[in-house]
Structures are given as C-alpha cells and as structure tokens.
Amino acid sequence: MSMSDRAPAEHAPSTGLDPILRVLALWRGRAPRLAAGAFLSLLALLAALVLMRGAGARVAALAFGGAVAGMGLLRVSGVARVVLRYVERLVTHDAMFRALADLRVWFFRRLAGGAAAGLGFRRAGDLLSRLVSDVEALDGLYLRIMVPLAGACLVLPFLVVAILPVDPLLAAIVGGLFAAGAFLLPLAAALMGRREAAILTHRLADLRIGVLDLVTGLREIRAFGAEGRMMSHARARDAALLRGQARQARLLALMGGASYLCGQAAMLAVLAAILGVGLGPIPAARGIGLLFLVLAGFESAGGLTRAGALAGGISRAAARVVAVGETDGPPVIAGTQPAPPGTDIRFEQVSFRWQADRAPVFDGLNLDIRQGTRVAILGPSGIGKSTLAALLLKVAAPGAGRITLGGQDLATLDSVSVRRRMAWLSQATHLFADTIRANLLLGRPEASEADLWTALDRAQMGDTVRALPDGLDAWLGEGGASLSGGQGRRIALARTLLSDAPILILDEPATGLDGETERAFLTTLYDVTAGRTVILIAHRLVGVEKLDRVWRLADGRAVAAAV
C-alpha cells in the first residue's frame, strides 16, 4: 500500500546516452541479426523509393500516351516491395526480441551477482517492473529509433540526388523539410517529452508496486477492513499514470501533426515547381515522379517524431535496467582461486560492521573450527550469529582481520567454489513456487529419489510428504503457501541436508519444530553428518546435541563454553 507518494529512491538519474550505450554493448551478441534486420529494412525502403519513382514516371508517361511497356516491371517491383517489407519486419522484430530475452537473462544474472545478502531496500515489484516493462520499452530503441533513423539517413541523400538535377532550389527545400521532419522535430519532441516520458516509467513501476502490495497484503487488508483505502491508493497511482500518459499523448498527437505538415509542405513545393509558382517550372513528367518519391520518403520517416517523444522513456528504461547491479552493501572481493580441499576454518582477529554508523558486530573475533568437527555458536539474537555465516559465505567481507578456509584467505577464493563447500540453512531461506521435488533438488540437482526421501526423513518431514496425494510432486505454492510455517521450514532443512557440501551451517534449524521433534532432529543430526563439519548456530542448546566445541558470542568475540 503505501501510503506515501515519495518518488522511488534512485541513484543518479542518468538519463544521458550512457545507459543506452551500455544496453547496446550488451546486444553485441545479437549484432549480426540486428544488422541483418537493419540491412533488410534499408533494402525494403530502397525498393519502395525506386518503385515509387518508377511508378510516378510511368503514370506521367501514360498520360502522355506513352507505352504501357514497363507495366510488368512495375508489377514485379511492387510484389518485391511487399515481400521485402514482410520479411524485413519479421527479421527486425525477431532479432529485437532475441536481444530483449538476452537482456532479461543478463538482468537476472547481474541481480544475482549482487544479491547474496538479499534484496535489501530494492523492491521485488520494482525489479519486476524493470524486467518486464523497462526491458520491453527498449525494443523502441532499435525498432523505432535506430532502424528508421538509418532509413532517414538513406532517404535524405536519395531525395536530394534525385531532385538536384531537376531544380537545385527545390532540392534544397525538400531536403531541408525532410531534415526538419526526420531529425529536428524528433529531437524537439525528445527534448520536450524527456521529462514526461521518464516520469511515466516510474509511474508505471509505482503502479505495479502498489498493485503487488495490494495483492500480497490481501490477508492484512481483509483482516483490517482496508479494502477501500487500498483501492483508493491504487486508484491514485493509476490516475497519476493516466494523467502522465494523457500529457504524452497530447505531445505525440501534436508532433505527429507537425511531422505530417512537413511532408505536405514538401509536396506543395514540388507542385508549385510543376506549376511554376515561385519555383521551377520543372517538366511535369519528372515532377510527378519526384512527387511520388517525396511522398514515399516522408512516409518512411513519419514515425520518427513519435519515437523522439518516447526517447526519454527509452533512455530512462535503459538506465533503470543497467542500474540493477549497483548495490550499496559492503564490498566483497570476488576471489579467483578455487577453494582448497581442506575445510579447516579460522577467524583471525575479525572485525565487522554492517554500516559505518552502526556499532561493530565483531571486534577481534577469533574462532578455530577444524575439519569434521561439530561446533555450536550460541548467543542471544542480534549478537551476530547470522553475520558469522554471512562472512563465511562471502556475502559480506570483514573490515579487519581475515578468515581462512583450508589455510587460504577467503578473500582470495572464488565465491562460487566457497559456496560449493558450504550448505547454509538461513533464517530467511526461501521456498519457491514449485514442487517439493524441485525445491529439494536446488540443494543437489543430481540427487536420486531415495536421497530426497532420506533428507526429508532426517528433517522429520518424510511422513508428512508421504501422506500427500502428490508426494514429492506436491505443489508448494507461493513462498511455500500450501504448507504451514513449520513444515516449510523443514523442507528448507531437508534441502540443506541434501547438499553434499563438507560444511553445514545451520542457523536455528529447530525453529518451527516442537520440542519433541527438535530433540529427534538434533539426535539424528549427529549420525547423518558423520565426517562433515557442522556449525550449529543457536540461541540455546537442548542438551541432546553431540558437540565437539561450543562458543558463546559476546561483545564481538567468541568465548569457549563448556560442551
């Protein structure tokens, strides 16, 4: 819902060419297709110009009683033009959508690269809007701007060269009008519409966020009888979007009219030259040919003005798409070395704080966790137990001191290979809208059916899943909605246990388990993790854990406690 209409926080509203160039660089892989599309488009345009010129001349000749000879050729080139136009549109659109699909994948990878610590203040609804509408808006960059602009660059000299031998003044006038219609007006439209188009991009995102809020908050809304308020809130966002769109439509309509008038003015000039009013006179037969040519040329550039008015939105969309990787979390050095075979973990004088203005979480923390040992790290909430896991998984990097894995500095190790060594059950582990099987397989894609059941049994969830009509193929729903909180948590636990990583980090694994089940789970944990390092992060111990060492976190350090 929300309530305030603050503009979404955006870093550096870069609306210049920079983001556009970055998007174009990302399309390099599709360059051959895109270029082929543009080439075909120019070919189709050329065919149209030649055809129109020929047709005009033929009509004139006909009026003089000339031979009807060229008719066959006219027919052939007419058909060629229709076919070329069809193929050209197919190829350009297909190339464009391939490039957009690539961009969506790039967006996701980029997002994943910076999101090991979660989404933070970036809203899923806003990201969705970027992936869907903003990427979609970028099709205009190629289809509406680049290709027609290339066409206009071809048409202008064609027109000038065709008219120049007939009447230089006319050539200058038509050329000038064409440049105005194809370059100046779109530029003016772009400048006038820039602000509006950029705002619209945000308004659409705002609407999407508002609607997504309304949909995810349906329970709260119903429970608090807030239907009316949420509705009027969504309505306000919708109205803001529509108002902006109305302003943009007005600009588009006016610009479209102006661009039409440019073409008409050029036509008038040619007619005046034929009549010898102010210009010319030029021979009528050639004049008619030129007239047809001018009409075709201006028609090809007609869309550019509208595209210009939308350019601001396209540029804003590009900026929003390429901004996705910019995170504001603490810098993590992405190492390059593969993780060593050993899995001894050492924290040496590690200090860490999440934000500069916050108190340090760790201050000179020392820990020594040997390969294959079972340790517990205890402490009240907020003491930094989860931060410890974040540091180990290279979600965050220590401010001072160092962490070693198998004797090597974690900072030099490749984060993917580090994460392959560790399986983490975090407090915020997410269940995906998919089957139980697919959710489990995320932990180890090659796991067999038997492995899945073993993991479920160890997480005390096997019987429940077995009782489901669809068993492993039961659909979990959004965020595991079809399960209760405790069941969902145990599925996540099973997913973690399934992993064959040599280090298991279990952050409060017993959350959501009742006392009896918790004991049963912790008892089996000892047996199922033989040979693996287990780091149990908990608030307290139940007493059935078989541990090699226990630390208690306090004052940013770890103090050894009695086992």
Partner 1 sequence: MSGDKMVMRAWTRAQSRLGRRPAMPVVACGMLAGLVAVGQAWCVASILARGLAGPASARWPGAGLLLAALAGLAAVRALLMAGGDMAAARAGQQARRRLRDEVLAAILRGGPALLRRRHSAELTALAVDRIEALDGFFARWIPASVLWIAVPALIAALAAVAQPGAAAIMILCGLAVPVGQAVFGIGAAVASRNQFLAMTRLQARFLDRVRGIATIVLLNRADDEAGRLAAAADELRRRTMKILRVAFLSSASIDCAMVVALVLIVVRDGGVVQLLRHGGSPAALADAAARSLFVLLLVPEFFAPLRALALAYQDRAHAAGAASAMGDLPDAPAQAAPARDALPALAAGGVAVAFAHVTFAWDAARGPVLDDLSFAVGAGEILTLVGPSGAGKSTIIEMLLGFIVPDSGQVLVGGADLAAMAPATQSALVSWIGQKPVLFAGTLRENILFARPDADEHALRAALDAASVDRFLADLPQGLDTPIGEGGFGLSGGQAQRVAIARAYLKDAKLLLLDEPTAHLDPETEGEILASLRVLARGRTVILSSHAAGARAFAGPCLDLGLDLGQPGALAPRPVPVEEGRHVHV
Residues in region 352-391 near partner 1 by CB under 8 A:
380-382
Residue 157 CA, chain-centre distance (Å), reads 40
Question: How far apart are the C-alpha atoms of 196 and 245, rounded to whole Å?
Answer: 8
Residues 186 and 308: beta-carbon distance below 8 Å: yes
Q: Does 504 bind partner 1 (CB under 8 A)?
A: no
Residue 553 β-bridge partners: 558
Contact between 469 and partner 1 by CB under 8 A: the answer reads: yes
* The one among 37, 186, 287, 502 contacting partner 1 by CB under 8 A: 287
Among 179, 477, 528, 557, the residue binding partner 1 under the rule CB under 8 A is: 477
HEC profile for 490-559?
Answer: HHHHHHHHHCCCCEEEEECCCCCCCHHHHHHHHHHHHHHCCCCEEEEEECCCCCCCCCCEEEEEECCEEE
- How near is the Cβ of 349 to partner 1 at its closest, in Å? 26
Nearer to partner 1, 187 or 275 (CB): 275
CA distance 159 to 178: 9
Which has the closest alpha carbon to 287: 295, 220, 554, 337?
Answer: 295
Report in angstroms how near the CB of residue 16 gets to partner 1 at its nearest: 27
Q: Give the one residue of 151, 210, 502, 556 binding partner 1; rule: CB under 8 A.
A: 210
Q: How far apart are CA 476 and CA 470, in angstroms?
A: 11
Contact between 473 and partner 1 per CB under 8 A: no
- Give the residue with the Cβ less far from partner 1, 64 or 531: 64
CB nearer to partner 1: give 396 or 525: 396
Q: Does 190 contact partner 1 by CB under 8 A?
A: no
| Residues written for the chain | 563
Q: Is 330 in the site for partner 1 (CB under 8 A)?
A: no
- According to CB under 8 A, which residues from 148 to 187 bind partner 1? none
Q: Which residue from 224, 336, 412, 560 is in contact with partner 1, where contact means CB under 8 A?
A: 224
Question: How many angstroms separate the CA atoms of 27 and 99, rounded?
Answer: 6
* The one segment of 158-166, 223-231, 315-323, 448-456 that binds partner 1 by CB under 8 A: 223-231
| Choices 25-33, 102-110, 338-346, 451-459; region in contact with partner 1 by CB under 8 A | 102-110
Give the residue among 359, 361, 336 at the shortest CA–CA distance from 351. 361
Tokens coding 147: 């290709």
Query: What binding mask, one character per residue, do residues 17-36 give for partner 1 by CB under 8 A, x or -?
Result: --------------------
The binder of partner 1 chosen from 33, 419, 549, 552 (CB under 8 A): 419
The residue type of 319 is: A
The span from the CA of 378 to the CA of 367, in Å, is 13
Among 288, 293, 377, 459, binds partner 1 (CB under 8 A): 288
Q: How far apart are CA 539 and CA 511, in angstroms?
A: 10
Which of residues 146 and 271 has its CB atom nearest to partner 1 in the complex?
271
Give the CA count within 13 Å in the CB-facing half-sphere of 156.
Answer: 18
Residues 421 to 460: which contact partner 1 by CB under 8 A?
A: 423-424, 426-434, 442-443, 445
C-alpha span between 13 and 511 (Å, rounded):
43
Task: Tell me whether residue 130 or residue 374 sits nearer to partner 1 (CB atom).
Answer: 130
The interface with partner 1 within residues 53-82 (CB under 8 A) comprises: 55, 58-60, 62-65, 68, 71, 74-75, 78-79, 81-82
Q: Which stretch binds partner 1 (CB under 8 A): 31-39, 86-94, 151-159, 177-185?
A: 86-94
Q: Is 503 in the site for partner 1 (CB under 8 A)?
A: no
- Among the residue ranges 149-157, 158-166, 368-376, 484-492, the one whose residues contact partner 1 (CB under 8 A): 484-492
Contact by Cβ (8 Å): 384, 556: yes
* Tokens, residue 164: 């120049």
Which of 92-100, 183-191, 335-343, 521-529 is the region at the interface with partner 1 (rule: CB under 8 A)?
Answer: 92-100
- Distance in Å, CB of 417 to partner 1, minimum: 9
Q: Which one of the spans 32-40, 131-139, 334-342, 446-454 is the region binding partner 1 (CB under 8 A)?
A: 131-139
Instruction: Supply the minimum distance, in Å, between the C-beta of residue 375 and partner 1.
Output: 18
CA distance 234 to 226: 12
- Pick the piece of the chain touching partner 1 (CB under 8 A) from 129-137, 191-199, 447-455, 523-531: 129-137
Dihedral sign of CA atoms 515, 517, 521, 524 in order: positive
Is residue 520 at the binding interface for partner 1, with CB under 8 A as the rule?
no
| Among the residue ranges 21-29, 170-178, 277-285, 365-373, the one whose residues contact partner 1 (CB under 8 A) | 277-285
Count of chain residues binding partner 1 (CB under 8 A): 162
Q: CA angle at residue 279 from 278 to 280, to 5 degrees?
A: 135
Give dist(CA 419, CA 394) in Å, integer. 8
Nearer to partner 1, 17 or 63 (CB): 63
Between the alpha carbon of residue 484 and those of residues 24, 135, 427, 475, 513, the distances in Å are 47, 37, 16, 13, 11
Residue found by looking up tokens 């047709």 in the block? 55
Q: Report in angstroms how near the CB of residue 369 gets to partner 1 at its nearest.
A: 19
Shortest Å distance, C-beta 287 to partner 1: 6
Q: How many Å separate Cα 285 from the centre of its chain? A: 56
Minimum CB distance to partner 1, residue 57 (Å): 12
543 binds partner 1 (CB under 8 A): no
User: Does residue 281 have a cis peptide bond before it, meaning omega lies within 30 degrees of 0?
Assistant: yes
Stretch touching partner 1 by CB under 8 A, among 11-19, 22-30, 175-183, 419-427 = 419-427
